[in-house]
Chain A
Amino acid sequence: MIKVENLYKKFDKHNVLNGIDIEIKPGEVVCVIGPSGSGKSTFLRCLNLLENPTDGHIYFKGADLTDKNANINQLRQKMGMVFQQFNLFPHMTVLENMTVAPKMLLGLSKADAEARAMGLLERVGLADRAGSYPSQLSGGQKQRVAIVRALCMEPEVMLFDEPTSALDPEMVGEVLDVMKELAHANMTMVVVTHEMGFAREVGERIIFIDEGVIVEQGTPDEIFNNPQSERLKNFLAKVL
């Protein structure tokens, strides 16, 4: 579904990504772990071109995103993204947050978009907050809304950029539960996370990135119980 070839990213003189190759299959849940500053967030943001790769190719369903003529706006409709800082639109209600893009980009009528949004809100237990503004929600509620806002576009891939890092500890669970449900519903997911428990439980493949390269990858069992490289062993010793 997503194929990354030889991905490089440079910020000024600073090399962040130094040649990443990976292929993500439909329905796969890939968790990306690594120390901070390792380039894992940049890698994720390159997947939907929020960061422009310096070199390399990213294919999404066969289309080369890095091609100058690629219709990136159209391709992004199929790739939902959830941010660490939620990035809900503060001047819109929860319902408006969710329906603005489907109405504008998919041509849905107001009624259809709202029906779709309400269905999703029900799934995450927030139907009663449809008329609220983001400032009236807790962090966990905000992130659940951010997830269903992305789902409202019916994407084929969901990208999560440290979705629980900005949350109070007691709210992490409710967000991870939504993500677990999504994984069980066979959504293709790429999750940058510090939640090793989540990665171990839900991840089908774990990717360990350090200094801009994939140092090691494998099943949760291989990565957490039988790490090969010194760097991964050091990292796990610190976080587990």
Chain B
Amino acid sequence: MIPISIQNWFIDAFNAIQEWFNQIINAVNGWLDQLADTFLTDDRYLWLLEGLENTLIITVGALLLGIALGTVISVVKYFAEDFKPLKPVSWLFSTYVTVIRGIPMTVLLLIVYYIIFADSNNGIMVGIIAFGLNSAAYISEIVRGGISAVDKGQMEAARSLGMSRLQGMRKVVFPQAIKNMLPAVGNEMIALLKETSVAGYVAVRDLTRAASQVRNITYDSVNPLAVTAITYLVIVLILTWLLSKFEKRLRKSDKG
């Protein structure tokens, strides 16, 4: 027979556990109610989805613009090294990179929105252009580094076979440079995604701005911000995973 005192102890412990359990269930229920109230009332989750869509549009658009412009900048600078007529253009591009890198992204965004495109209300387009201009400066440096890391003998071999500088760049140097550039471009892509969170300054409802709007209307700070932060994190994780897969595939062609 178990002594009474020990039986009582078990009953107390059981009650206490049941009490905690109820508290946890109540808390979860309360949280679910809060979530429903924050996101489902008035279909406010749609704001966040719209914000996510705009964030992705701006990021992808700016990235493409940045890669295109950044590649042009660095290739022109590369050719200008032995082709005198390109020198002024090269100098112009260098100044561009210096200026852009010295201006905070938010300020640049405001300049593009309120001064350059003062007549336009298309915040998304302004966002793509502003973030793209900014990215181009960084990507041009990445591309330049990637190109200059390719052995000089590669271009010489291409030229000795009769290829022009442009043909040698396209067929021989650039494909090798891409491999050098990829990790840095990946980082730039991730940085760009996160930088777009200031797009709200120019009346674009991006993910961050949408979360702020939900927060203002519901007085619920925790859930909108948590959802936003987790969303960015998940996108970054997906990008990282895609990049590492892509890099592995590129490396395979090297070793055969």
Contact = CB atoms under 8 A, between A and B. Distances in A.
Interface of A: 48, 50, 73-74, 76-77, 79-81, 83, 85, 87-91, 93, 100-101, 104-105, 131-133, 135-136, 146, 149-150, 153, 159
A187 B160 CA distance: 17
B154 interface: yes
Contacts of B172: 89, 100
A83 B157 CA distance: 8
A101 B161 contact: yes
B153 A87 contact: yes
Interface in B71-92: none
Given A81-B157, A135-B255, 5 more contacts: A48-B160, A83-B156, A135-B254, A150-B160, A150-B161
Contacts of A48: 160
Interface string B235-256: 0000000000000000001111
B244 to A, nearest CB: 19
B162 A76 contact: yes
- Interface of B (DSSP majority class): helix
B254 A101 contact: no
Interface of B: 151, 153-154, 156-164, 167, 171-172, 175-176, 179, 253-256
What are the nearest 6 A-B pairs in CB distance?
Answer: A77-B162, A87-B157, A81-B160, A101-B161, A87-B153, A133-B256
Given A89-B172, A90-B176, A93-B256, A50 B160 contact: yes
A87 B154 contact: yes
A136 B253 CA distance: 12
A85 B159 CA distance: 15
Most chain A CB within a 10 A radius of its CB, from B151, B157, B159? B157
